[in-house]
Chains A and B, each alone.
Chain A
Amino acid sequence: MKSIISVRNVWHHYGISPVLKNVSLEIESGKLVVVMGPNGMGKSTLLGLIGGTIYPIRGEVEIDGKIRRSSIENESAIRRQLVYLPDTPFFPPNSTGMEFILAVARLYEIDSFRAMEHAEVLLGVFDLKEKAHSPISSYSTGQQKKLGLCSALITEVPILVLDEPFSGGLDSAALLAMSKILKMLAAREDVTVVMAVPVPELVEPLADKVVIIGDGEIIAYDTPAAIKQQAGGEDILLAEALESLVHPDKINIIDQYLKERKS
């Protein structure tokens, strides 16, 4: 199948030591790919590179056959078909939720009436209907997270890059809604989703493929079942597989600790 996102030999530093080391990744069209790994290992940097907020020191990122920031035409075309939602986006505080979502829809040239209809539905799904016409400054952290998700979904673009969409105080109803929406998107062949998730259990049933990053390098990139197999067996949890691949000694340390506490 055709790769819609290609990350080739990417190195990135913010300071002296590299955050990403010679990372290469091919993501096929229509797949839902989850990026996992411990904190500070380069998940958000990788997503930022794909999303376009970061430019690699070495290597290149190609989206649908066009290299990022290679020319005005290529970059504009990429920006029209990809949306990047960072972990903590900035919302204009005096704007209302509805105004914000519609402004994002207008940026992606969604027909006004269609956007209006979609915004109403999305706000309903995420229990934000009552707050839709209140300034965003009055939203709680969880509500702002939901609003960010609504803004990404209203764009109707074929590539969604979401940095930790399940974190930030989402309530159980929102988690359920998001899981179902992602499931629906995963089933579609024209939508590609790349997201970073710290809790593997949430995405195990959804993910087509999982990327495990450790110390700036890709340790594994395969289906959840294959990754579990690689880590020691299909019966283990994805979280355990992640830990055994990134920190092979960690499970032993935990087991040792529990044994000591029991005795």
Chain B
Amino acid sequence: MRPYWLMNFPPVWSIWVFLTVFGVTYWLDQWFPVAVFTGLRTLLIFLASLVFGAWRVIAFYPYPAGKYGRWLTMTPWQFGTRLPNGSIQLNASDMLTVGLLCSITLWDHDISIVTPLAIFLYTYIICATYSTFSGIPWRKYWLKKVLIAAIMPFAFYPVVSVYSMVISLAVCYWLCFSLLREVLKDFPWNQIAWLQSDEEVLTKKSLKTFIAGWPYSALAAIEKKEPRIKNRICEILVPILLAVWWLHAMMALTLDKNCFPLSFILVCIALLGIGIRLSCYLTGTAPPISLWGRIFNGYFIIPKYDRIFLAPLLVVILVFFAVYFMPESTQYAVWIFELTIFALLVILRGFPPSLDQWRQTGAFRIVRSKMIEKQASQVINKPKTVFEKNPVDLLMGK
């Protein structure tokens, strides 16, 4: 049996596969010395670091809906003792694996020795942070998640440098380490209690409504308490600010900003956003009256229905002005672009009516939507987790 610290070492077969492919490219390089083989080896190191970073989380994190997580809830495991499958936190065996990948870069000197470490850590931090969303309301531990997302771009913003990368990675890893500890401390995750008190109740309800078919699914009395205005502003603004911050940092990466057809990208993003918003609002609904009916009967505006078109209209006006007044100077154009993206996201996400308000008070006809029918026929085939089962099913041994 492997010692505990070696349980996170990658499977032997994967090391063999890596070394064999690496060896074959090296052998071919001897016979056909072309640059493509060096590039292949670099790509291989990139991929290996990426896959290892993701595997380190996926294989060792006890996801509540996964087999490991469900099994763990049946055991007396608690925070402070070792996780039976191996640690989720990084340890000596990871240093060994990543150290090996880093030393291999010395073979070709094509990439920096710290590149595999940076890729591994980035992937690990992103996957570990994302994993803490699984089965847990996203509002829990939100501060650390937001900080990780906000600090990460400093690795390459305003300029790519080893120092900024090391500092940002170190801070993000510390936050991620502390986040994972906090999450594991709460194990076994009391999902049911959270579901009762949180908006996640909707997810639970949606499962019921899909099975309940039409019109029950559409007429279900799902009452979602509107979050307080402060929370609502945070819910809308924080993700949008993060998205725009990432966009800004990524755009700063490309020195030659002329390569961006900014106006075109802006129009595409606006159309995509409008499409997503309208499909969310209009799925399963039909206008109260046909267009001809409106024209012939003089119902040109039906306020309780037409209000959902206000946000898309505002976005169209905003984008029109942004494109029209887009300055020649690339530097200012990027600012206008980013500000417009921020404004259009705020409008699309936050302009009234909210989705819940619309579904309960909109002047539409409720119709059977093909998409919901499809979901209804699929959802029952989805294997249920212990949390999704109702007490009757559990008693019946289903």
Binding site for B on A (CB under 8 A): 13-16, 48, 51-57, 69-73, 75-77, 79-80, 84, 86, 89-95, 99-100, 102-104, 106-108, 112-113, 115-116, 151
Contact = CB atoms under 8 A, between A and B. Distances in A.
Given A76-B223, A94-B378, A103-B211, 9 more contacts: A16-B293, A73-B223, A90-B376, A92-B376, A92-B380, A94-B380, A99-B380, A107-B208, A151-B216
B212 interface: yes
Contacts of B360: 69, 71-72, 75-76
Interface of B: 205, 208-216, 218-223, 226, 288-290, 292-293, 296-297, 299, 302, 304-305, 356-357, 360-368, 373, 376-381, 390-392
B361 to A, nearest CB: 5
Contacts of B223: 72-73, 76
Instruction: Return the 4 tightest CB-CB contacts between A and B, nearest first.
Output: A79-B221, A90-B214, A103-B211, A92-B376
Contact of B392 (A89, A94, A115): A115
Given A89-B214, A92-B376, A112 B391 contact: yes
B392 A16 contact: no
A57 B216 contact: no
Contacts of B219: 51-53, 79, 84
Contact of B293 (A14, A48, A84, A89): A14
Contacts of A54: 288, 365-366
Contacts of A84: 215, 219
A101 to B, nearest CB: 9
A13 B293 contact: yes
B213 A53 contact: no
Given A15-B289, A15-B293, A102-B390, A92 B218 contact: no
Contacts of A53: 215, 218-219, 365-367
Contacts of A106: 208, 390
B221 A90 contact: no
Contacts of A77: 221
A10 to B, nearest CB: 12
B93 to A, nearest CB: 45
B390 A13 contact: no
Given A72-B360, A95-B380, A104 B366 contact: no
B290 A104 contact: no
Contacts of A112: 390-392
B208 A90 contact: no
Contacts of B221: 76-77, 79-80, 107-108
Nearest to B220: A107
A5 B357 CA distance: 23
B361 A72 contact: yes
A206 B222 CA distance: 34
Interface centre among B212, B362, B363 (most CB of A within 10 A): B212
Given A69-B363, A106-B390, A15 B290 contact: yes
Contacts of B368: 90
Contacts of B376: 90, 92, 95
B216 A104 contact: yes
A102 B305 CA distance: 34
A116 B391 CA distance: 11
Contacts of B363: 55, 69
18 contacts: A13-B297, A15-B293, A54-B366, A55-B364, A69-B362, A70-B361, A72-B226, A76-B221, A79-B221, A80-B221, A86-B215, A90-B373, A94-B377, A102-B390, A103-B211, A103-B212, A107-B216, A112-B392
Nearest to A102: B392
Contacts of B378: 94
